[in-house]
Structure 1
């Protein structure tokens, strides 16, 4: 059943005009970009029952409670998805999960629009975080 979800997601991505950089059917992974939305190398994993989407955004120069606090505050404004940190606490990633069983194209598109809006509104702060400011 996961393969049918994989192809469904692939079809939606192509219909939405995404460039597919990597396609791994055996592991149900896709890596896509849509530069006009600011989306670069977004990783999508079709792991039944969920579609997991992650986009690496930046490296933090070091632990900073003010930055962590601001990211958590911004999470409240994000319509879909959230900022997360990797295991090291240094890589900031956008992550969202959706249930595959009932997923349709408008719901998937809403995640992309949310990420694009987040990147456009919050990019200056993200750049400052990456520089340790």
Structure 2
């Protein structure tokens, strides 16, 4: 286990995130913050980076207008971005941060960015998931 793992865990707990699952061997956490609308968010220590990733919705069909809207929204997201998984069907929120000099404020900024995205863009996300 790297020294980063415990540091990230402490940050998550300080930020009052619930650790739903913890995999010490893989050095990852699954966290939630129901008040912020965050569920099943993966926080993965992949030295030299921290990966923060969570599924937002699944696309039922290829919709160029949805892809375009998500890419345009990426420009407004403070930290992180919309991405597609390997199958091209799941839309995720993803951000990466360097572990070497990671501080709590950086992790908090990413998590706040996701919470803001979910609160401001939730109607659109729900409508895209129904297409």
Q: What residue ranges of structure 2 are gaps of 5+ in the alignment?
A: none
1:12 aligns with 2:41: no
TM-score (norm 2): 0.98
1:43 aligns with 2:42: yes
1:95 aligns with 2:91: no
Secondary structure of the residue aligned to 2:108 is helix
Task: Give CA deviations for 1:80-131 in whole Å, capped at 9, x if unaligned.
Answer: 0000001221100000000001110011000010000000110000000011
Structure 1: how far apart are the matches of 2:86 and 2:47?
A: 23
Kept in 2: contact 1:3–1:25 (CA 8 A): no
1:59 maps to: 58
TM-score (norm 1): 0.96
Q: What residue ranges of structure 1 are gaps of 5+ in the alignment?
A: none
Structure 2: how far apart are the matches of 1:5 and 1:129?
A: 36
State the shift of 1:49 in Å: 0.4
Count of residues in Structure 1 that have an aligned counterpart in Structure 2: 131
Please report the RMSD computed on the Cα atoms of aligned residues, expressed in angstroms.
0.8
Secondary structure of the residue aligned to 2:2 is helix
Structure 1: how far apart are the matches of 2:14 and 2:43?
A: 16
